[in-house]
């Protein structure tokens, strides 16, 4: 048995009824309701439904019109990033990242350790 499996087996499960789990669930619900997160979700959907974005993504995934433009993956990526809907999405994404960084900083300061760094599962192998 490898050391990672041993480590994972030794970890005590968190009681789903514990106050910390309840607080984490409440925080998650509050984060989902903030305008920045709502905009991010809305714009992610708009990107998926945008016909220009869909066409570019099809080309990037090898499903585009073989008789159409022959750009490199980088060229298609640049074209995707130039779309107004994608620019809006990236702006919303940056706002959500900043919000999450702020939450992480507050939790880390309260705990006295970098929170996100210590919350990640340890990679095996």
Helical (H) or strand (E) element with 41: helix 35-49
Q: Is the pTM of this model over 0.75?
A: no
Residue-range domain boundaries for the chain: 34-125
Q: Which CATH number, 2.40.128, 1.20.1500, 1.10.287, 1.10.10, labels domain 34-125?
A: 1.20.1500
pLDDT at 12: 55
DSSP-assigned letters across all residues of 52-66? HHHHHHHHHTT-S-T
Cα–Cα–Cα angle for 120, 98, 109, rounded to 5 degrees: 60
Q: Which of 37, 30, 28 is nearest to 92 (CA)?
A: 37
Q: Per-residue pLDDT tens for 67-101?
A: 667 778 888 899 999 999 999 999 999 999 999 99
Q: Per-residue pLDDT tens for 99-115?
A: 999 999 999 898 888 88
The first and second tokens of residue 79, run together, are 């074209």
């Amino acid at each position: 048995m490898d050391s990672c499996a041993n480590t994972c087996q030794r970890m005590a499960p968190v009681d789903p009824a514990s106050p910390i789990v309840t607080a984490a669930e409440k925080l998650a619900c509050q984060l989902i309701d903030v305008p920045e997160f709502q905009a991010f979700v809305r714009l992610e959907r708009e990107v998926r439904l945008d016909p220009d974005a869909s066409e570019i993504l099809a080309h990037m995934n090898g499903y585009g019109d073989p008789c159409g433009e022959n750009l490199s993956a980088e060229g298609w990526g640049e074209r995707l990033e130039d779309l107004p809907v994608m620019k809006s999405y990236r702006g919303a994404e940056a706002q959500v990242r900043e919000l999450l960084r702020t939450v992480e900083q507050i939790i880390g300061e309260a705990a006295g350790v970098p929170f996100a760094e210590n919350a990640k599962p340890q990679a095996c192998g």
